[in-house]
Amino acid sequence: MRGIIRRMLLAGVASALLLPIVLAVVIGLGVLLRAVGDGAGGVACGRIALVVGAGWVVAVITTAVASGAALLDERSPPADQDGTRQP
């Protein structure tokens, strides 16, 4: 279970850090395309930016949930193989 939570947390942190950069690049490209007269390209970049922004929000929420799950997983007392706790 810890491996899944760690992978989820790592993916969430990476996405939460990288997606704002992608969002800024796509928005900038859309503005550039509109400035040179390509309205359709600007609209397409705007829609792509909307999807990337939604993905960013999902990544932040996923990171928060995975962080909470990792914290709760660390606080649970370890058990022996036979199910009894050692003092």
- 20-40 confidence digits (pLDDT tens): 999 999 999 999 999 999 999
**75's tokens:** 């606080």
- Separation of alpha carbons 77 and 20, rounded Å: 38
Tokens 């932040």 correspond to what residue? 60
Q: Domain residues of the chain, as ranges?
A: 2-8+20-72
pTM for the complete prediction? Answer: 0.73
- 1-24 confidence digits (pLDDT tens): 677 888 888 888 999 999 999 999
**22's tokens:** 């992608």
Question: 11 to each of 16, 17, 26, 36, 50, how far by Cα in Å?
Answer: 8, 10, 21, 37, 20
